[in-house]
């Protein structure tokens, strides 16, 4: 990982930088990746994407919450997001980081909040995906997923290709017929548990996609990598895997061209649409993934 990439990874979790950004509204370029601060901006963004034949998943931005009030507030925003989906007839899922629901305060609080969200989502026929955050939360996230999967059909989670453990988790989650989003991984992780070599991550990524699809489970293949997309197309064609058994997922503001091309070819494409005021950590991770984006931000600053 480059020095610049590590710096943005560090900033993503820096409370002071986050507060400064919120206070001074230093949005400089974040709006390329974030639909907006407000509900109406999120709804408008999703409607535009839906009109182009793209599905979406809404995320009310927030992570690493350490008070019950903040966790309850995030839960309220998730439920409100489900209401927005229903009221506006949006073709959208809900995607949630469970550190925003109080995971670092207590497992019980987090479960209680998740059940409130899942109950409303089940009533309204909305699918909820629990995102995967940094590795210190990985096992806990999977344990929570498994417990809730026994109670709910409308739930999925995420696995990351950079972790050594992941192929084992793919097999373990096969017992749950898990609907998984598969990603390369966005956090800074140590060599003791995660591949540092990009080629190795890419190789493991293809392995996990193939294994999960061959197990007959639904895959959200979340990448902007052309080579992965091409390999997946060939693999599904060769193995007669139906287009209804997987979807490509991409982030709002990244590879819109590819999103539309795939949709026009009859693939299911789902766009991740984050909104809300707590955009800083998310924005920093997007910069860490692609230092070229920093040039874009600097240009914006001097506009
Ligand atoms: P890369 O090999 O990183 O990039 C391939 C190409 O994609 C690049 O050459 C470039 O053209 C384009 N690209 C990639 N990133 C950017 C960027 N930031 N800006 C502009 N272009 C870019 N990670 C998690 O750890 N947990 C999650 O729950 C999670 N959810 C995700 C949900 C979705 C829908 C997506 C798309 C990603 C998610 N990620 C998550 C992030 C993921 O782990 C990767 O960090 C991210 O997708 C970059 O990897 P890549 O597969 O796109 O390929």
Question: What does the alpha-carbon distance between residue 217 and residue 114 come to, in Å, rounded to a whole number?
Answer: 23
CA 95 from chain centre, in angstroms, equals 6
Question: What does the alpha-carbon distance between residue 32 and residue 297 come to, in Å, rounded to a whole number?
Answer: 10
Mean pLDDT of 233-244: 98
- pLDDT, residue 283, reads 85
Q: Is residue 18 part of a domain?
A: no
Question: What does the alpha-carbon distance between residue 288 and residue 184 come to, in Å, rounded to a whole number?
Answer: 14
Q: Is residue 82 part of a domain?
A: yes
Between the CA of 99 and the centroid of ligand 1 the distance, in Å, is 20
| Nearest protein CA to atom 16 of ligand 1, as residue | 290
Least trusted range by pLDDT, from 37-41, 62-66, 131-135, 248-252: 62-66
ipTM: 0.96
The neighbouring-strand residues paired with 60 are 275
- How confident is the model over 159-192, as pLDDT tens digits? 999 999 999 999 999 999 999 999 999 999 999 9
Q: Is residue 228 part of a domain?
A: yes
- How confident is the model over 185-200, as pLDDT tens digits? 999 999 999 999 999 9
Q: Is residue 113 part of a domain?
A: yes
Q: Is residue 80 part of a domain?
A: yes
Number of independent structural domains in the chain: 1
Angle at 185 between CA 76 and CA 203, to 5 degrees: 150
For ligand 1, residues with CB inside 6 Å are: 131-132, 158, 160, 181, 183-187, 222-225, 249-251, 254, 272, 286, 289-290, 293
Q: Which domain holds residue 128?
A: 34-278
- 26, pLDDT greater than 50: no
Between the CA of 224 and the centroid of ligand 1 the distance, in Å, is 6
Q: Dump the DSSP string for 47-96.
A: HHHHHTT-EEEEEE------SHHHHHHHHHHHHHHHHHHHHTT--EEEEE
Q: Is residue 69 part of a domain?
A: yes
Q: Is residue 25 part of a domain?
A: no
Percent of the chain with pLDDT over 70: 88
Band of residue 302 on the pLDDT scale cut at 50, 70, 90 = low
Q: Output the domain CATH number for residue 93.
A: 3.20.20.220
- 114, pLDDT greater than 60: yes
Instruction: List the structure tokens of 15.
Output: 């409370």
Instruction: List the structure tokens of 294.
Output: 């920093």
Q: Is residue 193 part of a domain?
A: yes
- pLDDT, residue 1, reads 59
């Amino acid at each position: 990982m480059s020095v610049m990439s590590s710096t943005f990874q560090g900033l993503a979790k820096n409370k002071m930088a986050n507060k400064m950004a919120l206070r001074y509204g230093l949005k400089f370029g974040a709006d390329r990746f974030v639909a907006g601060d407000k509900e109406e901006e999120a709804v408008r963004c999703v409607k535009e994407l839906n009109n182009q034949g793209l599905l979406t998943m809404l995320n009310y931005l927030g992570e690493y919450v350490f008070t019950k009030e903040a966790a309850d507030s995030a839960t309220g925003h998730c439920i409100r997001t489900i209401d927005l989906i229903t009221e506006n007839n949006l073709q959208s899922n809900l995607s949630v980081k469970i550190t925003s629901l109080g995971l670092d305060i207590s497992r019980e609080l987090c479960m209680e909040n998740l059940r409130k969200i899942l109950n409303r989502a089940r009533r309204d026929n909305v699918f909820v995906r629990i995102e995967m955050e940094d590795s210190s939360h990985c096992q806990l996230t999977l344990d929570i997923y498994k417990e809730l999967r026994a109670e709910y059909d409308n739930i999925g989670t995420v696995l990351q290709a950079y972790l050594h453990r992941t192929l084992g988790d793919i097999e373990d989650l096969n017992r749950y017929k898990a609907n998984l989003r598969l990603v390369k991984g966005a956090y800074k992780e140590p060599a003791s548990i995660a591949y540092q070599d990009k080629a190795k991550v890419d190789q493991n990524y293809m392995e996990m996609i193939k294994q999960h699809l061959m197990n007959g489970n639904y895959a959200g293949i979340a990448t902007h990598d052309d080579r992965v997309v091409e390999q997946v197309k060939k693999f599904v064609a060769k193995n007669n895997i139906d287009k209804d058994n997987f979807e490509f997922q991409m982030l709002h503001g990244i590879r819109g061209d590819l999103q539309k091309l795939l949709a026009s070819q009859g693939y299911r494409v789902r766009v991740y649409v984050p909104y809300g005021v707590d955009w800083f950590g998310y924005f920093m991770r997007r910069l860490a993934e692609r230092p070229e984006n920093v040039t874009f931000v600097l240009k914006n600053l001097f506009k």
